[in-house]
Amino acid sequence: MSNTFHIIIFLPLLGLLKFAAGGALQLTANNFDKVVGSTELVLINFYADWCRFSNMLEPIWDEGADLVAKKLDSKRVLMAKVDCDKEDKLSSRFHITKYPTLKLIRNGHPAKKEYRGQRSAESFLKFLEEEIRDPVRFINSTEDLKEEKKGQVIGYFESPNSYSYQSFMKMASSLKDECVIIAGFGPEFRAFMPGGEDMVIVRKPSSLDDIAMPPDVPVTDTARLTDWARRTCVPLVREITFENAEELTEEGLPFLILFHLPEDTETPKRFLRVVEKDLYSEKDGIQFLTADGLTFAHPLHHLGKSKKDLPLIAIDSFRHMYVFPDIKDMEDPVKMKQFIADLHSGKLHREFHYGPQQPAAAAPAPTRDQPSTPAPTSPPESVFKKLGPSGSRYSLLKDEL
Ligand SMILES: *[C@@H]1O[C@H](CO)[C@@H](O)[C@H](O)[C@H]1NC(C)=O
């Protein structure tokens, strides 16, 4: 049954032989959006043929794909691969900087965490089994609600057999890594359902105030429900401390950090407003953080900065650190966005090695005394990667080529 489904959908793209051979599904610019858009979970290996770690992984990945196809519902979950040399656009769209990178795409959106577990067919299967499990926790009364470290999205429904609960489940599948998702059904919860309408609220970790979904967002509108729940439950800007640094590092996204003096409470508020207003669209590619500049004096020192230079903004890419040129430009969305874009494009890194790029026409002709390319220098190394989990991963960074 499920094979029939696949052959019909993919035959024109793949050819029967490739499919019959099994293994991970090859994704290209042509079939990518169609596949990830119609499959709940796609675990993708972004590889490069010349990379020995990619080559080592390949047979194990294909074995995993076959195992997953056998054990799980292939309409909901599958393993795939992208050849990054051939698929430039896909590779840059997902900010691939090392091979192989193993990413989970859920309902068309990249999950925050990369796959960092063991590289064996059994482990891939276990991981996907865990990921596909019902992400909603059920309660019988509000007494069952507990304090959680993460934000909670709580839905009260007349019945589980409703369009609004179906929509809630889809939202839950998208947000399950970032929030705790809870549902209650029936008469016990009527008190929380004004006018008898199904109701969704968000409870933030250190706050007793529940935030109710605005009446103009219908629960049945999955996209708007998900967007509202994500914005409300997941803090866009978090404070990094020594306690949570490892967890934050594990998410694998580079950090954009505001370092500030502990007594300066004004700049973090301004920073939050800037992120909410101008940088929301960047959140899948970077993590917004604040840090006490005295606690984290070491990374500042590393950048050649000290207490007197606070506040300042820097990026830690987990390879290198880069300082935002002038904190006074923090509220200029064009400059902040450009700073982030330059990280993703590799421009920040190139400039550190070779100086700012000159427009071709304006570049002075090289002379004997003044070569056009300055001697390479190196940006300060990442400090925060050392706070990350000691990796048992083997990947090749683009820079190590
Ligand atoms: C709710 O009630 C069911 C059936 O009595 C029970 O199995 C379940 O553990 C209860 N859930 C909670 C969160 O207490």
Q: Is the CB of 188 under 6 A from ligand 1?
A: no
Ligand 1 atom nearest to CA at 144: 13
Token pair for 256: 């954009």
pLDDT of residue 181: 97
**Residue 388 within any structural domain of the chain:** no
Do 227 and 116 lie in one domain? The reply is: no
* pLDDT value of position 379: 73
Residue 121 belongs to a domain: yes
CA distance 53 to 246: 25
SS3 258: strand
- Residue where one domain finishes, among candidates 321, 336, 354: 354
Q: Which atom of ligand 1 is nearest to the CA of 139?
A: 13
> By the 8 A CB rule, do 166 and 123 touch?
no
Ligand 1 centre from 139 Cα, in Å? 7
Residues 228 and 267 in one domain: no
For residue 89, give the CATH number of its domain.
3.40.30.10
How far apart, in whole angstroms, are the C-alpha atoms of residue 282 and residue 48?
Answer: 26
* In-domain check, residue 400: no
Cβ of 372 closer than 6 Å to ligand 1, yes or no, is no
Other beta carbons within 10 angstroms of residue 373's beta carbon come to 9
Question: Ligand 1: does its nearest atom lie under 6 Å from the Cβ of 139?
Answer: yes
> Which pLDDT does position 361 carry in this prediction?
39
Distance 129 CA to ligand 1 centre (A): 23
Is the CB of residue 128 less than 8 Å from the CB of residue 68? yes
In a domain, 390, yes or no: no
| Of 385, 388, 243, 239, the residue nearest 317 (C-alpha) | 385
The amino acid that residue 173 corresponds to is S
- Residue 127 and residue 12 share a domain: yes
Q: Is 284 in the pocket of ligand 1 (CB under 6 A)?
A: no
What residue ranges in 107-150 does DSSP mark as E strands? 109-114, 136-139
Q: Are residues 329 and 242 in the same domain?
A: yes
Q: Name the pairing type of β-strands 255-260 and 287-292.
A: parallel
How far away, in angstroms, is 140 Cα from ligand 1 center? Answer: 6
Residue 357: its pLDDT value, please? 53
Q: Using CB atoms within 10 A of its CB, is residue 230 exposed (0-12), middle (13-18) or buried (19+)?
A: buried
9 lines ligand 1 (CB under 6 A): no
Q: Closest Cα to atom 7, ligand 1: which residue?
A: 140
pLDDT at 363: 37
Asked if 211 and 248 sit in the same domain, the reply is no
| CA pair distance 45, 37, nearest whole angstrom | 17
Q: What is the pLDDT of residue 22?
A: 87
Beta partners for 390?
Answer: none
Q: Which of 140, 143, 152 to mutate to test the pocket of ligand 1 (most atoms within 8 A of CB)?
A: 140
Residues 160 and 108 in one domain: no
Query: Domain total for the chain?
Result: 3
Residues 224 and 284 in one domain: no
Same domain? 118 vs 148: no
The answer on 256 and 227 residing in a single domain is: no
Which phi and psi (to 5°) does residue 13 adopt? Answer: -90, -35
Domain extent for 205 = 136-233
The Cα angle at residue 209 between residues 151 and 268, in degrees rounded to 5: 70
In a domain, 364, yes or no: no
| Structural contact between residues 92 and 29, judged by C-beta atoms closer than 8 angstroms | no
β-strands 41-47, 101-106 pairing: antiparallel
Q: Which of ligand 1's atoms lies nearest the C-alpha of 138?
A: 13
Please indicate whether residue 338, judged by its CB atom, sits closer than 6 Å to ligand 1: no
DSSP state of 332: -
| In-domain check, residue 112 | yes
Report the separation in Å between the CA atom of 136 and the middle of ligand 1, taken as the mean of its atom positions: 14
Residue minimizing CA distance to atom 2 of ligand 1:
140
Tell me, in angstroms, the distance from the centre of ligand 1 to residue 202's CA. 22
Count of C-beta atoms within a 10 Å radius of residue 236: 14
What gap in Å lies between CA 267 and CA 288, rounded to an integer? 14
Is 18 inside any structural domain? yes
Give CA separation, 3 vs 18, 43, 69, in Å: 14, 19, 10
DSSP H or E run through 203 = strand 199-203
Going by alpha carbons, the residue nearest to atom 13 of ligand 1 is 139
116 and 171 both lie in a single domain: no
Task: Tell me if 399 is assigned to some domain.
Answer: no
Which pLDDT belongs to residue 353? 65
Residues of the chain with pLDDT under 70: 1-21, 206-208, 352-378, 387-401
Cross-strand partners of 257: 289, 314
The CA 119 to ligand 1 mean position distance, Å, reads 37
**Strand pairing report for 151-157 and 312-316:** unpaired
Q: Does the beta carbon of 145 lie inside 6 Å of ligand 1?
A: no
- Considering the domain architecture, whether residues 117 and 35 belong to the same structural domain is answered as yes
Specify whether 217 is located in the same domain as 105: no
